[in-house]
């Protein structure tokens, strides 16, 4: 090892949410029914209603700002393989293995307008940046209140 050993532990935070949120903070008064209703929250409609209820309670306690919000986006990778992304209307030609056919798409221009996944037709081919590989994904968007850091809205959108 060369040079001095400088510790940089002050750069990282190792606090749990319980340690970070003060005991008298208004967020603690919002009912946390997640653990009681965990199985029911797997249903999208129930989860959305729960989310809306928490946001309404936060708004009622004046925890949300009306002016300072941030929108952020991310790619949510689909559970569809690259081999399933084929030209629309093309029938699979799989003489070797119908379960996992050999597909050679190198050099082929594949676009969302002309191709679709045979296993997940709603997934779209997106890149996360220049020079990155394209993956079958969905676009996720989050609206966050800057004052308290609360997520106010979230959605998954389909764009071409």
pLDDT per position as a tens digit, 34-88: 556 666 666 777 777 877 887 888 888 888 888 888 988 888 888 887 777 777 8
Look at residue 93 in the predicted model and tell me its pLDDT: 60
Rounded to whole angstroms, how far apart are CA atoms 21 and 62?
17
Question: CB-based contacts of 33: which residues, under 8 Å, 6+ apart?
Answer: 50
Long-range contacts of 94-98 (CB under 8 A, 24+ apart): none
Question: What is the model's pLDDT at position 104?
Answer: 62
pLDDT band for position 29 (cuts 50, 70, 90):
low
Over range 89-97, report the average pLDDT. 63
**What's the gap between Cα 16 and its chain centre?**
22
For residue range 95-151, list pLDDT tens digits in order. 666 666 666 666 677 777 777 887 888 888 888 888 888 888 888 998 988 887 888
pTM greater than 0.75 (yes/no): no
With a cut of 70, say whether residue 33 has pLDDT above it. no
pLDDT digits (tens, 9 = 90+) for 1-15: 566 766 665 666 677
Q: Are strands 151-157 and 135-145 parallel, antiparallel or unpaired?
A: antiparallel
Query: Tell me, what's the pLDDT at 35?
Result: 58
For the chain, the structural domain boundaries read 15-63, 67-160
């Amino acid at each position: 090892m060369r040079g001095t050993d400088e510790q940089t532990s002050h750069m990282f935070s190792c606090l749990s949410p319980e340690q970070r949120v003060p005991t008298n903070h208004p967020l603690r008064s919002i009912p946390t029914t997640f653990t009681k209703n965990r199985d029911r929250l797997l249903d999208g409609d129930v989860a959305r209603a729960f989310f809306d209820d928490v946001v309404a309670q936060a708004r009622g306690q004046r925890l949300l700002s009306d002016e300072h919000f941030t929108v952020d986006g991310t790619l949510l990778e689909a559970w569809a393989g690259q081999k399933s992304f084929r030209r629309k209307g093309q029938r699979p030609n799989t003489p070797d293995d119908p379960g996992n056919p050999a597909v050679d798409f190198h050099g082929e221009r594949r676009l969302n307008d002309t191709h679709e996944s045979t296993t997940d037709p709603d997934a779209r081919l997106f890149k996360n940046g220049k020079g990155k590989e394209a993956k079958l994904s969905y676009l996720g968007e989050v609206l966050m209140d800057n004052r308290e850091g609360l997520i106010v809205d979230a959605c998954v959108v389909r764009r071409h």
